[in-house]
A and B are shown apart, each in its own frame.
Chain A
Amino acid sequence: MRTDPVILSVAFGYLALLFVVAAWGDRRAEQGRSLIGSPTVYALSIAVYCTAWTFYGSVGRAAEHGPSFLLIYLGPTLAMLMAPLLIRKMVRIAARQRITSIADFISARYGKSSSLGALVALFALVTITPYIALQLKAITVSHAVLVNYPVSADTSLIDEAFWMDKSFWVALVLAVFIILFGTRHLDASERHEGMVAAIALESLVKLIAFLAVGIFVVFVMFEGPGELFGQVAATPELAQAMSLESVPGGATGWVGMLLLAFLAFFTLPRQFQVLVVENVDEQHLKRASWLFPLYLLAINLFVIPIAMAGLLLGGLSGDPDSFVLTLPLSTGSEGLPLLVFIGGLSAATGMVIVETIALSTMVSNQLIMPLLLRSKRLHLGTKGELAGWLLGIRRVAIVLILLLGYLYHALIGDAYSLVTIGLVSFAGVAQFAPALLIGLYWRGATHQGATLGLIAGFMVWAYTLLIPGFVQSGWLDAGLINQGPWGIGWLRPYALFGLEGWDIYTHSLLWSLLANVGLLAGVSLFTRQTPLEQTQAALFTEAMNPNLQATSLWHGKTTQGELRELLSRYLGIPATRRVFAVSTHQATTSLSPTLDDNEQPASTELITRAEQALAGSLGSASARVLINSVVRGEALDLESILSILDTTSQTLEYNRRLEQKSQELARIGEELRGANERLRELDRLKDEFVAMVSHELRTPLTSIRAFAEILRDGENLPDEKRRHFLGVIVHESQRLSRLIEEILDLARLESGRLTLNPQPLDLAHLARHSVDAIARLQENRGVRLRMQLEAEPAPIIGDPDRLEQVIINLLDNAGKFADDTAPEVLLRVYRHKKHYRLSVEDNGPGISEDERERVFEKFHQIQQHEEEKTRGRPKGSGLGLPISRGIVAQLGGRLWVEDGASLGGASLIMELPEAPPKEPASSEKPTVT
């Protein structure tokens, strides 16, 4: 069974199966029934992480260094657990910007920079070629072991012609295979659904094969884990090898290895391809974030048992990297080794396929296309169909990459174990991590910073890992490693700046990342971003901002015809039609049918979609150049982007402030309305007041003028009449003066400018005084005025003149409103709690309940035209009571109306607070204004 024809036909059969699956996946994708629309398929495709290095090398490393190989899988586990945070953001950006590779991603982040993209592509090529070589080596070695066992296979190829070398043919076959299902479509961002399906299948095959070996070794060869571990425990040097102490570099080695694997997990071009570019649904990350770690656990479950078994059996099993194959072979099994070989083939081809597709995309989009666009712009511009060109470039790139891999394998591959080559590559791609990760979160990271950081990181990596590798291959003098270049000790590649005792990978990672991150951060701080770079930086760092979803990024103008021509030249007619189909479908309603479509201005959505479509084929940098060639105008500037980004928070803040403002406005409006009401009322009152004042003033004036004219015109007026009329004039003039005085008092009271002169005084004494002043007048009117001083003295603080004015006014009013036939007025002064009260009561009709406050309104009597006037008594101005109340209030007292208790008429009561007890008779008079 282990003859070449059998093995070859099984291997080709397997590849053919893969191709069928891939073709099927592609067809399903075209029909819109995607085969890979499942998170499980996505998780399995990520398992392309497990290459031949895992399949064969893990056992090798376990045999040499114990469980340290696990770190290579703990890193990705960590990364996947962080997927919702980290990878999801990349996935979203890649989908939005139609990113085709990690080089494209980094280029796009730093302003769609062609140079940075080219740099990443170039470095990726340098870093990954050995890794591809490793897979070729694994296939060749495993094939040789399978065929030659138990004879130890000599895989040295130096003396053979390359056409005799199987790995050369393996590389060619793989190239053809990859061209067949990797470049069927031009648009890389349209995703290789068939390839992903095939890769997922391969992941299953290698897992099954590895588990089969594991189960076979543990349960068939050793009758269970108990026996196996028992035998290991009985062999002290073996038990020692399997302990944790055997990790190279100790604790720092652990950390270094973990970090290395973590970073490589998404910076490896193939990992970026399956994780980010080929992701069809962000939601798939959820299941993948636990399913993939589970896969890693499963495929590593038997690594240590197999390694221990291999070591126990000693010489029988040969090289530890081949234990997986040699152990089943040693038992004479025929079928299982073949399955293992297929599993290894799966692991190797899976890696080579994805890695080559990713690299060829980078090479064509980041290296060749920008060069072609730049140097032969005119030539390209006149070319009709360029879509074919692109495919051609990519196919040539695939062949070249595989040939490079073969060359590396043929020339230096032998010097390294599988694991070593893998780790060197890991450390190389880890240099992409600073530009990628920092660019994802720090908007200030600039193109110059990223470029210099990347270059520095790579140089350090090359010096500390790649070049020493050449030394170990015998290409360079070993003195470089041992003494340093020109004998400079601190420049020794494995002990840079005297850092010794670390494992070489951690050592290299530390110095390279230090240089990389240091330059990226440092240079970024001192360099400026171009407008496009600012825009892209904002779009990347703010990718999770929900406002970015529906944003058009072009302001510029072009016609649909120009865009159509551009797209069809680079993408071909069908793809162009697809781009336009989506847009016209949306826009037909607004398009006027009479106009030729080609003359129609292209909408910003259409321009954006066209750029995305071009980016999907050519990479973002080239797409930008091409779109710029037909679109006049600017891409959205940073301010616009930022304003879009800030929309949510701004809107929220704005809404909150708006709400606050509107509440405030409503409140102010309410206040204003109230104030307006009051003003209107005041205005009305003022008008009324003015009208009343004028009326009141005109009345005495009328008499004065009339009699003055009568006196003037009547020369022979009898003396008696003359005197009478003069008396009227004098009386009315006095009335006028009094009125004016009252109006002024009122005005002063209302504006708070009435100056009072408060001093301690006796209210009873004041009452007596007032009664004396008015007694004669009341007598004339026939009013019986009585006084009842129940508290004497009644010490209060007051302005004697003003209070007398108030009391006289009250007495005067009472006299007017007392009973017609036998008018009576009673004045009382008495104590009530801590106040003194003065009440003036009459025996008139009293004042009804609802009138009691209105009597204190200005000109009240005029407003109501009351019946009292009919009695022909002299009228007051209607200002007496309002003025009295104002004065009393200003002295801290009250004035109100009650029913008279003794006489049954109205009773006006004035209340003033009692003066503080031992108020010394002081010359100092407190002044209240």
Chain B
Amino acid sequence: MARVLVVDDEPNIVLSLEFLMEQAGFDVVTAEDGESALACVKDTVPDLILLDISLPGISGFDVLEQLRADSDKAHLPIIMLTAHGREVEREKGMALGADDYITKPFSTQALVSKVKALLAETDK
């Protein structure tokens, strides 16, 4: 069973994502800031990360950058989540190697299908 790491500092958003992923049949791990997210990746080896950008401490971008720099996790699928609707943010995320970029508030169905599609892709 694929494992999804959800990183967000908003408890209610984490709650909703957790529910959605579990419902879709994934194993879910959560983290509420960048530091713990990085620790989680090391400990739990997720198959995909839903990563919020605005995090206390190190930001989602920093986490992404560090993960991409690490040869082991370089290909780990990562979907960025952000409440910043600006195009520059999206471009920045994509340039840093995010696999997708989802703007809050998001469509739950679209989110779930994106996660599924990405995981299916990496399975091949």
Q: Which residue of B lies closest to A866 (CB)?
A: B56
Whole-angstrom CA separation of A349 from B62 in the bound complex: 117
Which residues of A from 119 to 142 have beta carbons under 8 Å from B?
Answer: none
Q: Which of A506-514, A695-703, A842-850 contacts B (4 or more CB under 8 A)?
A: A695-703
B86 touches A691 (CB 8 A): yes
Q: Which residue of A lies closest to B89 (CB)?
A: A691
Taking the complex as formed, is B71 at the interface, i.e. its CB lies under 8 A from any CB of chain A?
no
- Chain B nearest Cβ from A391, distance in angstroms: 97
Taking the complex as formed, is A927 at the interface, i.e. its CB lies under 8 A from any CB of chain B?
no
A705 touches B32 (CB 8 A): no
Taking the complex as formed, is B55 at the interface, i.e. its CB lies under 8 A from any CB of chain A?
yes
Q: Which residue of B lies closest to A694 (CB)?
A: B85
- Chain A nearest Cβ from B13, distance in angstroms: 5
Whole-angstrom CA separation of A870 from B35 in the bound complex: 10
A698 touches which one: B57, B85, B107 (CB < 8 A)? B85
Whole-angstrom CA separation of A694 from B108 in the bound complex: 20
Please indicate the chain B residues that have their CB under 8 angstroms from the CB of A719 in the complex: none
Whole-angstrom CA separation of A656 from B84 in the bound complex: 56
Taking the complex as formed, is A646 at the interface, i.e. its CB lies under 8 A from any CB of chain B?
no
Please indicate the chain A residues that have their CB under 8 angstroms from the CB of B105 in the complex: 698, 701-702, 704-706
Please indicate the chain B residues that have their CB under 8 angstroms from the CB of A695 in the complex: 54, 83-84
Whole-angstrom CA separation of A698 from B12 in the bound complex: 13
A706 touches B16 (CB 8 A): yes
Please indicate the chain A residues that have their CB under 8 angstroms from the CB of B9 in the complex: 869
B13 touches A699 (CB 8 A): yes
A703 touches B108 (CB 8 A): no
A870 touches B57 (CB 8 A): yes
Which residues of B from 22 to 57 have beta carbons under 8 Å from A?
Answer: 23, 32-33, 54-57
Which residues of A from 864 to 881 have beta carbons under 8 Å from B?
Answer: 865-870, 872
B108 touches A706 (CB 8 A): yes
- Chain A nearest Cβ from B17, distance in angstroms: 7
Whole-angstrom CA separation of A714 from B16 in the bound complex: 13
A865 touches B109 (CB 8 A): no
A702 touches which one: B57, B59, B106 (CB < 8 A)? B106
Q: Which residue of B lies closest to A704 (CB)?
A: B105
Given contacts A706-B16, A707-B16, contact A865 B56 (CB under 8 A): yes
Q: Which residue of B lies closest to A698 (CB)?
A: B83
A703 touches which one: B12, B23, B57, B109 (CB < 8 A)? B12
Taking the complex as formed, is A732 at the interface, i.e. its CB lies under 8 A from any CB of chain B?
yes
Q: Which residue of B lies closest to A687 (CB)?
A: B86
Interface residues on B, range: 20 to 34
Whole-angstrom CA separation of A491 from B77 in the bound complex: 131
B106 touches which one: A694, A705, A707, A862 (CB < 8 A)? A705
Whole-angstrom CA separation of A862 from B83 in the bound complex: 12
Whole-angstrom CA separation of A373 from B56 in the bound complex: 107
Whole-angstrom CA separation of A710 from B17 in the bound complex: 10
A709 touches B10 (CB 8 A): no
Please indicate the chain A residues that have their CB under 8 angstroms from the CB of B104 in the complex: 698-699, 701-702
A709 touches B15 (CB 8 A): no
Taking the complex as formed, is A713 at the interface, i.e. its CB lies under 8 A from any CB of chain B?
yes
Whole-angstrom CA separation of A94 from B37 in the bound complex: 103
- Chain A nearest Cβ from B74, distance in angstroms: 26
Taking the complex as formed, is A728 at the interface, i.e. its CB lies under 8 A from any CB of chain B?
yes
A691 touches B12 (CB 8 A): no
Taking the complex as formed, is B20 at the interface, i.e. its CB lies under 8 A from any CB of chain A?
yes
Whole-angstrom CA separation of A43 from B12 in the bound complex: 115
Which residues of B from 75 to 96 have beta carbons under 8 Å from A?
Answer: 83-86
Please indicate the chain B residues that have their CB under 8 angstroms from the CB of A731 in the complex: 12
Whole-angstrom CA separation of A471 from B18 in the bound complex: 143
Please indicate the chain B residues that have their CB under 8 angstroms from the CB of A732 in the complex: 12
B16 touches which one: A696, A710, A867, A869 (CB < 8 A)? A710
Which residues of A from 727 to 745 have beta carbons under 8 Å from B?
Answer: 728, 731-732
Please indicate the chain B residues that have their CB under 8 angstroms from the CB of A691 in the complex: 84, 86
- Chain B nearest Cβ from A469, distance in angstroms: 111
B33 touches which one: A702, A703, A706, A870 (CB < 8 A)? A870
- Chain B nearest Cβ from A385, distance in angstroms: 93
A694 touches B83 (CB 8 A): yes
- Chain B nearest Cβ from A277, distance in angstroms: 88
B10 touches A867 (CB 8 A): no
Please indicate the chain A residues that have their CB under 8 angstroms from the CB of B20 in the complex: 706, 710
A865 touches B32 (CB 8 A): no
A872 touches B11 (CB 8 A): yes
Whole-angstrom CA separation of A52 from B49 in the bound complex: 130
- Chain A nearest Cβ from B47, distance in angstroms: 22
A706 touches B13 (CB 8 A): yes
Given contacts A694-B85, A695-B84, A870-B33, contact A709 B108 (CB under 8 A): yes
A709 touches which one: B33, B54, B56, B107 (CB < 8 A)? B107
Given contacts A703-B13, A710-B20, A865-B55, contact A870 B109 (CB under 8 A): no
B56 touches A869 (CB 8 A): yes
Whole-angstrom CA separation of A870 from B85 in the bound complex: 24
Encode B89-122 as 1/0 by CB contact (under 8 A) with A: 0000000000000011111110000000000000
B83 touches which one: A699, A704, A713 (CB < 8 A)? A699
- Chain B nearest Cβ from A539, distance in angstroms: 73
Whole-angstrom CA separation of A721 from B103 in the bound complex: 26
Q: Which residue of B lies closest to A696 (CB)?
A: B83
Whole-angstrom CA separation of A691 from B54 in the bound complex: 12
- Chain A nearest Cβ from B114, distance in angstroms: 14
Q: Which residue of A lies closest to B83 (CB)?
A: A698
- Chain B nearest Cβ from A739, distance in angstroms: 13
Please indicate the chain B residues that have their CB under 8 angstroms from the CB of A870 in the complex: 32-33, 56-57
Please indicate the chain A residues that have their CB under 8 angstroms from the CB of B86 in the complex: 691
A865 touches B57 (CB 8 A): yes
Whole-angstrom CA separation of A705 from B9 in the bound complex: 17
Whole-angstrom CA separation of A704 from B10 in the bound complex: 12
Q: Which residue of A lies closest to B15 (CB)?
A: A728
Please indicate the chain B residues that have their CB under 8 angstroms from the CB of A866 in the complex: 56
Q: Which residue of A lies closest to B57 (CB)?
A: A865
Whole-angstrom CA separation of A868 from B56 in the bound complex: 8
B32 touches A872 (CB 8 A): yes
B10 touches A699 (CB 8 A): yes
Please indicate the chain A residues that have their CB under 8 angstroms from the CB of B59 in the complex: 865
Please indicate the chain A residues that have their CB under 8 angstroms from the CB of B17 in the complex: 706
Whole-angstrom CA separation of A710 from B23 in the bound complex: 10
- Chain B nearest Cβ from A608, distance in angstroms: 72
Q: Which residue of B lies closest to A701 (CB)?
A: B105
Q: Which residue of B lies closest to A861 (CB)?
A: B56
Please indicate the chain A residues that have their CB under 8 angstroms from the CB of B32 in the complex: 870, 872
Please indicate the chain A residues that have their CB under 8 angstroms from the CB of B85 in the complex: 694, 698
Given contacts A728-B15, A867-B56, contact A709 B109 (CB under 8 A): yes
Please indicate the chain B residues that have their CB under 8 angstroms from the CB of A710 in the complex: 16, 19-20, 108
Please indicate the chain B residues that have their CB under 8 angstroms from the CB of A696 in the complex: 83
Whole-angstrom CA separation of A702 from B20 in the bound complex: 13
Please indicate the chain A residues that have their CB under 8 angstroms from the CB of B12 in the complex: 703, 707, 728, 731-732
Please indicate the chain B residues that have their CB under 8 angstroms from the CB of A872 in the complex: 11, 32
Please indicate the chain A residues that have their CB under 8 angstroms from the CB of B83 in the complex: 694-696, 698-699, 702
Q: Which residue of B lies closest to A862 (CB)?
A: B54
Which residues of A from 415 to 456 have beta carbons under 8 Å from B?
Answer: none
Q: Which residue of A lies closest to B55 (CB)?
A: A865
- Chain B nearest Cβ from A878, distance in angstroms: 12
- Chain B nearest Cβ from A734, distance in angstroms: 12
Encode A708-727 as 1/0 by CB contact (under 8 A) with B: 01100110000001000000
Whole-angstrom CA separation of A695 from B82 in the bound complex: 8
- Chain A nearest Cβ from B16, distance in angstroms: 4
Report the 4 A-B pairs with minimum CB-CB distance, sorted nearest first: A869-B56, A706-B16, A698-B83, A702-B104
Please name 15 further chain A to chain B contacts, defined as beta carbons within 8 Å, in addition to the given A698-B103, A702-B13, A703-B16, sorted by A numbering: A695-B83, A699-B13, A699-B83, A701-B105, A702-B10, A702-B83, A705-B105, A705-B108, A706-B20, A706-B105, A709-B108, A870-B33, A870-B56, A872-B11, A872-B32
Selected A-B contacts with CB under 8 Å, 8 pairs: A699-B10, A701-B104, A703-B10, A709-B108, A710-B20, A713-B109, A862-B54, A867-B57
Chain B interface residues (CB < 8 Å from chain A): 9-13, 15-17, 19-20, 23, 32-33, 54-57, 59, 83-86, 103-109
